[in-house]
Each structure stands twice: as structure tokens, then as C-alpha cells.
Amino acid sequence: MRPRAASCPVSSPDIPMAQTVRQQQIVELLRDRRSATITDLAEHFEVSDETIRRDLKALAEDGMVDKFHGGVRLNVAEWEAPFDRRLREQAPAKRRIAHAAAELVDADATILLDNSSTSCFLAQVLAPRPGRLTAITFSVEVAQILSSAGRHHRVILPGGELRADDRTIIGPSAIDFASQFTPSLFVMSVAAASPQRGCMDFDLFETEFKRAMMPLAEKVMLLLDSSKYSKPGLIQVCDWQAVDILVTDAPPPAAVRDELEHAQVVLAPPLPAGNGGNGNGRKPAYAE
């Protein structure tokens, strides 16, 4: 297991944490209101109009918001889709990724899965398989899928607050609970990926969760459909050095491939379209 402590910065070196958090809060506020004036935002966050303008300029450059005279509105097309919609988006690609990833999981492994839609697809593939997985997850959806095929898999959920929109258990107590485990594999996805900043996301809790879980696992597997390379992200989860295996549905852009090679990330392409993921002879990468 490669050391990862330096691979998961709290924020980009050139962006103060307070600014990063405020920008996240601006987007969350716009998610509810859809639009706001600069004056309203400045009063809400108790900062100057000029500070808000700088935040909005950064968000607009990332494609998160559209500015208009005196205010800003959420760029809905660029915002992370609600969970049910994300389950439908890129579904064929996610299904292929899930089958390929499942071929790398030992039948009796201890794994940690995030709350992403791609992890749900992976859970659907793993659930009916023989063996006895031990799966720790923050996602009620993933937990239900893994337990639906019978009682042969062991599924562990932490305590905490249940977030209704994606049925994720959140809160510091959930992270503390999961931190006692030493899984052979942590499976995660992210909202966006770039050559320079690596893995990007929108949600502060999910970012903190992923950062906390990565050092615990022997291997980190990133499940990433190719649409993520063209999407903006708000918060850096980690750089490529923190990832051990990337499973994707298409060759990454050249700039990303260069970073993967530099970081010694194993690129595990998905199975050919139509292959159900059984019997390809691929050896599990992290058997217990």
C-alpha cells in the first residue's frame, strides 16, 4: 500500500479553505434558490461585495454558475444530478465498469464502498456471487442491494444522520465508525476528474469521507465513466497519487493518461460490451 497522507490536501494550495467552503455554500444556497443577488450573498456570508464577486468569478470559470448583472444563477446543466437521475445517466458505461471491477474483487474480500451510483451498479454485480464479502458502506441503497440476494454477504452500516435525497448516512460519527476497519479495497467514484487536480467532487461530507477512507484501505479503486473528464468539480478529493486502480469505460484523455502513468495507477479497462463479466480469468488484485 502506497502512503497517501500527502495526496489528499484539504484544498488546492492556491485556494484558502475558507474561500473553498464559502463557494461550496454559495452553490448549495443556489441549489435551493436557483438565483441570488451579489448584495444578498454578501449579507448572508458577512463579507464584502468584492469578495463575493471573486467567488462567483471562480465558480463561473468552473462552469458551476452563470452570472448576470448584479447577481448569479445556478448552471443547472453543470450541477451534479439528483441520485435517481445519476443512476440513469451513463448506465451502460457504469454497468460495464461494474462488471470489470467485480472481476477484480476476491469472493471473500473486505471492501468499503462509497455512495456513488456506480457503486450501486457494482453492488448489483457482487450481490448474487458466491463467497462471503464483508462490505462497509455509507449508502443504504448499496447495503440493500448487497443484502437482497440472501444472507451470505456481511453488510455493515455506520450510525449517523440519514440524508434523504440519496439515502446516505452522514456525520462525524459515521466517519469515526468506519475508520476502525482495515478493508482490502476502497471503491469510490467522483463527480469530475482533471489532469491537474485529479479527483473532484461537489459535496463537503463526501469529500471528507473519501479522504478519511483512502488511507485505511490496502488499495483504492476509482470507478470513472468517461463523461467525468469533461465535467467541472468544486472540491479536490485527491490527486492521482492516491489512486491504485482506475476502471473506466473508454481510454482517458492523453493528459490524464500521462498523470496516471506518472502516479503508477493501474488502468483496468472494462470488459467488452456485452460481456457479463464472468470467466475472463482476470486475477483479483487484492484478495485478503
pLDDT along the chain (288 residues), means of 10: 45 48 84 81 92 92 85 68 68 92 94 94 93 94 86 90 85 92 96 91 88 96 91 87 95 93 87 44 35
Query: What confidence score (pLDDT) does residue 166 get?
Result: 81
Query: What confidence score (pLDDT) does residue 287 get?
Result: 31
Query: Domains (ranges, CATH) in the chain?
Result: 7-78 (1.10.10.10), 83-268 (3.40.50.10470)
Query: What confidence score (pLDDT) does residue 19 get?
Result: 63
CB atoms inside a 10 Å sphere around CB 193: 27
Amino acid letter at 204?
L
> What is the C-alpha separation between 3 and 108, in angstroms, rounded?
25
Q: How far separated are the first and last CA of the chain, in Å rounded? A: 13
All 3 cell numbers of residue 109? 474480500
Which whole-number Å values give the CA distances from 251 to 93, 247, 258, 283, in the listed order? 12, 10, 12, 21
Query: What confidence score (pLDDT) does residue 132 get?
Result: 92
CA atoms within 13 A of residue 53's CA, in its CB half-sphere: 7
